[in-house]
Structure 1
Amino acid sequence: MRQVKAGTLERVPAMARLISELNSDSAHHVGYCGTEEEEIEHSIQEEFGEYELDHYVTLLYEQEQLIGLLLLDADEEEGQAELWGPFIIKGDWGEWQTAADQLWAASLAKLSPSIQKIAGFYHIHNHHAFAWMETKQAVKQGQHTILKLEELSGQQLVIDQIDNQKLKIVDIGEIMSSSSELPIPAELDAILSSFYSLHNECFPSTYYDSGVILSRLAEDNRLFICLYANELAGYVYLEGSREFREGQIEYIAVRPDRRGHRIGLYLLHHALQHLFGSIKVKEVSLCVNNNNPAAISLYHKAGFHTASELQYISLHR
C-alpha cells in the first residue's frame, strides 16, 4: 500500500540518497539537483526549512520504503516554483506515471495559490519526465548546456588591454565591505548603476537580479567588474564552496559596445584563477542557453567540456 507523506528534517538523508541514485542516470536526471549525496542533503537543508519541507516537499512510500519524491523550490513573492523531480524509482512508464500523479496531486493540494508558474529543468534523455509533463500541458522553453572544467588548461593568451589602455578588475564585495560604514563613493555608485543596467539587459528574467547578487556577496561569492577607461566593460559573478570544493560561474556579460575585444575571456580567466587558486575547487560548472553559441564556443576554448544538456519546461496552474 502506498502512502503520501510530507518532508521532515529526519527524512532528508533518505531523500538525498534517492535523488543521488536517480540523478546519476541521465534517463532520470533532473536539473541542478546534483549527484553527490552529501551535497544534495546540504542543499535541501539550505533551501528548505521546517515550513518549506512540510509545504513544498512530498514523499511517496510503499511498504515503508521511499519510492518517490517531489520538491517545489517556491518563491511566493514571485509567484513561481522550480520543480525538483519527480524522482521515482519505478522504471515501468505506467507505474512511474501513476506515482508521479500521486505526488503531483498531493503537492498541488498544499501549494499556495500565489504560486502560478511552475518550471523544471530535465536532462534531454529523461523521457519519462517529458511525457509526464506533456500530460500537464507544460510547454518546452529554451534548452541549456551544462559545461564543466576540472582543472585549468595550459597558459592562454589573455588580452589585458584595449587600445593601449589597461583593463582593471574590481572586486565589488571587497570594496563595499571596506566602505560599509561610509557613503558609497560616487565612482562606485556609477559602476553599480552600470552593472544594474547591463545585468537587466543581458538577463531580464533570471533567478538572481542585480540586488540579489549584491546581497549574496561573501568570501566565496564574488562579483568582479572589468573597467576600461574607468567605466564598466563587463562583469562576472561566481559562487564557490570550500566544503565541497566546487564553483559555479553564474553570470558573465560584456557591454555591447565593448564586445569583440576578448573581455569575456579576460573575465573568465580571472574568475577561474580565483576559483582554482584561492578556493581550491576541483570543478567549475556553468550553464549556457543553447541560443548563445558564441558563449559555448568561448567556454570550449577555455577548456570546458559539455557535461549534460537540459530542457527547460514550464506550466501555469
Structure 2
Amino acid sequence: MEISISRATDFSILAQFLCGININENQHIGYCGEKNEEILQSLEEDFIDQHGKKTFLIVEDLDGVKAAIGFDIDEESASAEVWGPFVKSDLNSQQISMELWHEIKKIYPSIHTFNFFINEQNKGVLSFMKEINATQTGKHLVLQIEREKFIPLKKFKSNLFQISDFESFANIHNKAFPNAYYGANTILNRINEQQELRILKDDKGNVQGYAYFEVTPGYGEASIEFIAVSSRFQNQGLGTILLKEVLTRIFMYESIDKIQLCVAITNDQANHVYHKAGFYTKHQLLSYSYIDGTI
C-alpha cells in the first residue's frame, strides 16, 4: 500500500484525530492528553519548530487523518518527545509507522535522542519499539482521582507560604528533588493565585513539609508538582495530609472534576500516599529511548 505523507496544516483537525484515538488504551500514548482543548493547546505551544513549521506529519485520505507522528523538540539537547505513531486500526500499522518515522527523522536530522511514553496495552507501538531497537527505560503509573469520590477536608493544617519559610522549604525541596525541573527559587517566582505553595509546620514552628500545585481553571486542569516531607518528620502521615489538603484546594475550582498524575511504578512510598488519598491506577505506561545510530 502506497501512502502519502504530508506536514500537518490544521492543528484543530489534528487535535480531533488525536483525541479520538488516544482515549483507547490499545492506541494510547502517554504524552498526549485525552481532551481536545488540552491537546490543541499542547500542539500550538510545543509543536512549532524554529522555522515556524508544524512538527507533525500525517497520513490522510478523503475521510480525514488516518495516521500521525509528531516531535516535541528540544533543540538544545537535540532530543524530542515522540507523539505517536498514531495509526487507525484499519490500516497496516507497522508499515505506516515505519514510513512516518523515517520521514520525520529525515526532516529533523539534528535530533538524535527520541523519547517515547507508551501504554502497555498499545501492542502496535510496542512492536514498533522492538523494530527500531529502542531501549525500555522505565515503568510508570498514571493515577487518577475524581471529585465525586473525594471527601474534602474541613480544616487545614498547612498555610500559604511566607517568605520567612523560604530557607526551610528550600532545604526540604533540594534534598527531596535535587535535579528538579523547578528549583526552590523558580517555585517562589511562580507563586500566584493559581500556583500555590503550602507549608506544613509543627506546634513549634518547624517546617515539616510543603506542597506546590498549579491550576488552570480555563482548561479544567491541575497539576500537583511537588510534595515533600522533611526527613525529621517522615512516617507520620504528613505526606497524606498535605496531599488531601491540596486536593481539597484544587477541587474548589468548579471546572476541575478529576486530577491525573504520573508516578514511577518503583516509587512505592509515593504510590502508597496517592492510593491512600483515593487515587486509582488508570494506565500503566512504559518509557523508551532511542538514540539515532544504534541500529
TM-score by length of 1: 0.80
- Residue number in structure 2 paired with 1:118: 114
How far apart, in 1, do the equivalents of 2:190 and 2:82 lie? 23
Q: CA RMSD in A?
A: 2.8
Greater shift after overlay, 274-283 or 284-293?
Answer: 274-283
Q: Secondary structure at the match of 1:45?
A: helix
Greater shift after overlay, 260-269 or 274-283?
Answer: 274-283
Contact 1:223 1:236 survives alignment (8 Å)? yes
How far apart, in 2, do the equivalents of 1:260 and 1:129 lie? 40
- Structure 1 residue 244: deviation in Å? 2.6
Q: 1:226 to 1:279 in 2, by over 3 A?
A: farther
How far apart, in 1, do the equivalents of 2:51 and 2:257 lie? 31
- Structure 1 residue 64: deviation in Å? 7.7
For residues 257-310 of structure 1, what are the alpha-carbon distances to aligned partners after superposition, in whole Å with 9 as ceiling and x for unaligned?
Answer: 321111111211221121011465111111111112232222222122221111
- Residue number in structure 2 paired with 1:136: 132
Q: Secondary structure at the match of 1:198?
A: helix
How far apart, in 2, do the equivalents of 1:215 and 1:135 lie? 45
Q: Secondary structure at the match of 1:299?
A: helix
For residues 220-243 of structure 1, what are the alpha-carbon distances to aligned partners after superposition, in whole Å with 9 as ceiling and x for unaligned?
Answer: 233333344555433322222212
Unaligned runs of 5+ in 1: 161-166, 176-184
Q: Secondary structure at the match of 2:170?
A: helix
Contact 1:220 1:241 survives alignment (8 Å)? yes
Contact 1:220 1:279 survives alignment (8 Å)? no
User: Within the alignment, does 1:222 sit opposite 2:196 as a pair?
Assistant: yes
Contact 2:134 2:289 survives alignment (8 Å)? yes
How far apart, in 2, do the equivalents of 1:120 and 1:55 lie? 19
> Aligned letter for 1:234?
G
- Structure 1 residue 218: deviation in Å? 4.1
Q: Secondary structure at the match of 2:14?
A: helix
How far apart, in 1, do the equivalents of 2:154 and 2:284 lie? 29
Q: 1:223 to 1:46 in 2, by over 3 A?
A: farther
- Residue number in structure 1 paired with 2:175: 198
For residues 177-214 of structure 1, what are the alpha-carbon distances to aligned partners after superposition, in whole Å with 9 as ceiling and x for unaligned?
Answer: xxxxxxxx6x455245315513433xx4x655556555
User: Within the alignment, does 1:243 sit opposite 2:218 as a pair?
Assistant: yes
> Aligned letter for 1:109?
K
- Residue number in structure 1 paired with 2:285: 310
- Structure 1 residue 168: deviation in Å? 4.2
- Residue number in structure 1 paired with 2:47: 48
How far apart, in 1, do the equivalents of 2:31 and 2:142 lie? 9
- Residue number in structure 2 paired with 1:180: none
**What is the number of equivalent residue pairs in this alignment?**
289
User: Within the alignment, does 1:25 sit opposite 2:24 as a pair?
Assistant: yes
TM-score by length of 2: 0.85
- Residue number in structure 1 paired with 2:251: 276
Q: 1:62 to 1:46 in 2, by over 3 A?
A: same
How far apart, in 2, do the equivalents of 1:136 and 1:213 lie? 39
Counterpart selection for 1:170 from 153, 160, 179: 160
- Residue number in structure 2 paired with 1:67: 66
For residues 39-88 of structure 1, what are the alpha-carbon distances to aligned partners after superposition, in whole Å with 9 as ceiling and x for unaligned?
Answer: 21122123234647726322223468422111111222233221111111
User: Within the alignment, does 1:104 sit opposite 2:101 as a pair?
Assistant: yes
- Residue number in structure 2 paired with 1:127: 123
- Structure 1 residue 139: deviation in Å? 1.2
Greater shift after overlay, 207-216 or 245-254?
Answer: 207-216
- Structure 1 residue 12: deviation in Å? 0.5
How far apart, in 2, do the equivalents of 1:189 and 1:276 lie? 27
Task: Give the 5 Å matches for 1:277-296.
Answer: 277-278=252-253, 280-296=255-271
Contact 1:198 1:253 survives alignment (8 Å)? no
Q: Secondary structure at the match of 1:233?
A: strand
Unaligned runs of 5+ in 2: none
- Structure 1 residue 121: deviation in Å? 1.1
Contact 1:242 1:281 survives alignment (8 Å)? yes
Q: Secondary structure at the match of 2:175?
A: helix
Q: 1:90 to 1:269 in 2, by over 3 A?
A: closer
Q: Secondary structure at the match of 1:54?
A: coil
- Residue number in structure 2 paired with 1:83: 82
How far apart, in 1, do the equivalents of 2:182 and 2:76 lie? 14
> Aligned letter for 1:83?
V
- Structure 1 residue 137: deviation in Å? 1.4
Counterpart selection for 2:208 from 217, 228, 233: 233
> Aligned letter for 1:128?
G
- Residue number in structure 2 paired with 1:163: none
Give the percent of matched residue pairs that are identical in Structure 1 and Structure 2: 25
